[in-house]
Amino acid sequence: MPQYTPPLRDMQFVLHELLDVETQLKALPQHAEIDAETIDQIVEEAGKFCSNVVFPLNQSGDEEGCTYAGDGVVTAPKGFKEAYQQYVEAGWPALSCDPDFGGQGLPELVNNVLYEMLNSSNQAWTMYPGLTHGAYACLLEHGTDEQKSVYLPKIVSGEWTGTMCLTEPHCGTDLGILRSKAEPNGDGSYAISGTKIFISSGEHDLAENIVHLVLARLPDAPAGTKGISLFIVPKFVPNADGSLGERNGIKCGSIEHKMGIHGNATCVMNLDGAKGWLVGEPNKGLNAMFVMMNGARLGVGMQSLGLAEVAYQNSLAYAKDRVQMRSLSGPKAKDKPADPIIVHPDVRRMLLTQKAYTEAGRAFCYWVGLMIDQEHGHPDEKVRKDSGDLVALLTPMIKAFITDNTFESTNLGLQVFGGHGYIKEWGMEQYVRDARINMIYEGTNTIQSLDLIGRKVLADGGAKLKKFGALVQAFIAENAGNDEMKEFIEPLMDIGDKVTKLTGEVAQKAMKNPEEVGAAAVPYLRVVGHLVYSYLWARMAKIALEKTTGANDFYATKLATARFYFAKLLPETAYQIRAARAGADTLMALDAEAF
């Protein structure tokens, strides 16, 4: 059976030693009173809930899956509803929400820590409250005062859940060709008709109401993405007093039978004149939905971080316990017939790859969470602007780089188990299956790569990338005279220079041939992702060098992992740079008919 223990020590390291969150939060008026001890207490209690209540349902939920009973009725696996009720009663949905609507007003960063543990415990279950938090953020920014007063208190409390209904059978990521229609009813509402697919948490029995955020077209709307509007379409239309009214014309037509995340209902949603209300301006729906979509991209990164951690914990425990063959340098467990497999170099490679990617991913997600808090609440306009630019730059990497790395990590975890990894009872194959969707939904990782290189780097002449580069250069300058840091600073300088050069080369090629952007995008994201991880690992290595006291203490282990990352994982960039430079010619040479 799988196991999970919240990695509190490493979380505390990132929060307090790497990010110094208490000092950073004191600069934000709404969070100035929050101290490190309070954060640690919240995280510890969250860890207990995740490991004791949600984690035990992960494997059984995967085996049972969701049930479609017909006529739009879907039930979640046994225990999911009761766990959700405990989640609501404990106040976890309100953790980082606005106190004006019943929230606790804690930093988004703290919410990120909660969601890492929830996803380690049970990604499928966590998607129900996770999407709800995205709906909250969208309505908070773009809803009318009346919409906020009706919907947000119920969403913040967790009494109602939320979804986002974007794609349709024919359009996938290309939302510009969606066909769902919204006709005015004459009373301020709209009659919405169409079919939406792949709607996570689209129907279930966990909460009394589901608030769907639906993209559709108004009459005479412009073609393409410029003609998309956003609507609130509740499962039950609320009465004026907030109680539930009539059943709306939006129903689940079926649920998808999927490779993974079986415990979450992925629905086909049919809208037949469903009553909806416009959110934001007409034909500006995609801009409003981007609040939820960007939140979802960050959330998917957190999903994969959680899976990477739990997969690592289980493969590490197995490698220490499983005995097989002898060490190449001679027996290590002389009282046993064979040595634990953790003595073998390649098993260690797999474990250290998992460890290095997981710990860098945690630092990455928490750092971005802190910058989101700074973007929304810092009194200095320049800090808000710089934080927002960095969040925009890093969001596609949170989604794509972490999910790619986690799929590799969960596969390595399964490999450590050998044949037992392929057997369901050990739980490892579920982590592989669950991790695979994270590379696809909320925009495939290719879409994220195009977003990074096209919109976030080339579109502004590299301005956002230069802001990140300035952080890297400042750290390098600060440590230039530190001989102990040389082994980390030199490769960080090298990959920084290579990113600058590669960016310029792609930009020049793209001016002559736009296909060059598409050809370079995926390897480019891998290279820039490694620049981010190199920066974070160098920062963590500095702390470890200053604090380590012995060969086996926490900091010595952190230092060894940093050295492994620079020696064994960063060299991937040599291949990726060469692949990016290879250009579009070999990709585009064949006519489609020639394949």
* Whether residue 256 sits in one domain with residue 212: yes
Q: Supply the mean pLDDT for the chain.
A: 96
Mean pLDDT of 322-349: 95
CA dist., res. 410 & res. 436, Å (int)? 9
- Structural domain contains residue 429: no
* Angle, in degrees to the nearest 10, between helices 345-377 and 515-547: 100
Whether the pLDDT of residue 274 is over 80: the answer is yes
What's the CATH number where 172 sits?
2.40.110.20
Tell me the C-alpha to C-alpha distance, in Å, between residue 162 and each of 137, 477, 497. Answer: 11, 47, 44
* Whether residue 167 sits in one domain with residue 146: no
Query: Widest CA span of the chain, in angstroms?
Result: 83
* Whether residue 132 sits in one domain with residue 175: no
CB 188 within 8 A of CB 277: yes
pLDDT digits (tens, 9 = 90+) for 72-99: 999 999 999 999 999 999 999 999 999 9
Mean pLDDT of 166-172: 90
- Structural domain contains residue 576: yes
* Whether residue 243 sits in one domain with residue 111: no
What's the CATH number where 59 sits?
1.10.540.10
Last residue of a domain, one of 151, 174, 204: 151
Q: pLDDT category, 288, cuts 50, 70, 90?
A: confident
Tokens representing 582 are: 């290879």
CB 315 within 8 A of CB 364: no
CA trace torsion 129, 130, 133, 139 (10° rounding): -110
**Residue 209: CB partners within 8 Å, gap ≥ 6?**
154, 159, 160, 161, 234, 235, 236, 238, 244
Tokens representing 322 are: 């499983």
What pLDDT is attached to residue 278?
97
* Whether residue 572 sits in one domain with residue 510: yes
- Structural domain contains residue 289: no
Whether the pLDDT of residue 586 is over 80: the answer is yes
Instruction: Indicate yes or no: pTM above 0.85.
Output: yes
What pLDDT is attached to residue 296?
84
Q: 425 - beta bridge partners?
A: none
Last residue of a domain, one of 261, 283, 305: 283
CA dist., res. 205 & res. 264, Å (int)? 11
- Structural domain contains residue 533: yes
CA dist., res. 300 & res. 119, Å (int)? 10
* Whether residue 204 sits in one domain with residue 111: no
Where are the strands (E) in 248-379, listed by range?
Answer: 250-255, 266-279
What pLDDT is attached to residue 295?
84
- Does the annotation count 505 as an active-site position? no
What pLDDT is attached to residue 292?
74
CA dist., res. 591 & res. 444, Å (int)? 24
H/E stretch holding 494 reads helix 486-512
Nearest to 433 by CA among 77, 134, 58: 58
CA dist., res. 591 & res. 595, Å (int)? 7
Residue tagged 């995205």 (tokens): 134
pLDDT digits (tens, 9 = 90+) for 501-512: 999 999 999 999
Q: What is residue 572's DSSP assignment?
A: H
- Structural domain contains residue 452: no
What pLDDT is attached to residue 290?
78
* Whether residue 194 sits in one domain with residue 114: no
3-state secondary structure 74-114: EECCCCHHHHHHHHHHCCHHHCCCCHHHCCCCCCHHHHHHH
pLDDT digits (tens, 9 = 90+) for 336-388: 999 999 999 999 999 999 999 999 999 999 999 999 999 999 999 999 999 99
- Structural domain contains residue 521: yes
Residue tagged 């890297």 (tokens): 472
**Residue 367: CB partners within 8 Å, gap ≥ 6?**
18, 19, 536
Last residue of a domain, one of 109, 131, 151: 151
Q: Is residue 79 exposed (0-12), middle (13-18) or buried (19+ Cβ within 10 Å)? A: middle
* Whether residue 200 sits in one domain with residue 106: no
pLDDT digits (tens, 9 = 90+) for 23-57: 999 999 999 999 999 999 999 999 999 999 999 99
Q: What is residue 334's DSSP assignment?
A: T
* Whether residue 184 sits in one domain with residue 138: no
* Whether residue 190 sits in one domain with residue 101: no
* Whether residue 140 sits in one domain with residue 175: no
CB 201 within 8 A of CB 265: yes
Angle at 300 between CA 8 and CA 448, to 5 degrees: 130
* Whether residue 85 sits in one domain with residue 209: no
- Structural domain contains residue 71: yes
Tokens representing 470 are: 């300035």
Q: Cα-flanking dihedrals φ and ψ of residue 190, to 5°?
A: -130, 150
End-to-end CA distance of the chain: 46
CA dist., res. 216 & res. 228, Å (int)? 6
Tokens representing 560 are: 């060894």
Mean pLDDT of 501-530: 97
Using left for φ > 0, alpha for ψ between -120 and 50, and beta otherwise, residue 48 falls in alpha
Number of folded domains in the chain? Answer: 3
Domain that holds residue 495: 457-595
Task: Please count the helices (runs of H) and the strands (runs of E) in the chain.
Answer: 18, 11
Mean pLDDT of 194-215: 97
What pLDDT is attached to residue 175?
85
CA dist., res. 337 & res. 345, Å (int)? 19
- Structural domain contains residue 133: yes
H/E stretch holding 389 reads helix 381-416
Which residue among the candidates 168, 203, 309, 442 is catalytic per the annotation? 442
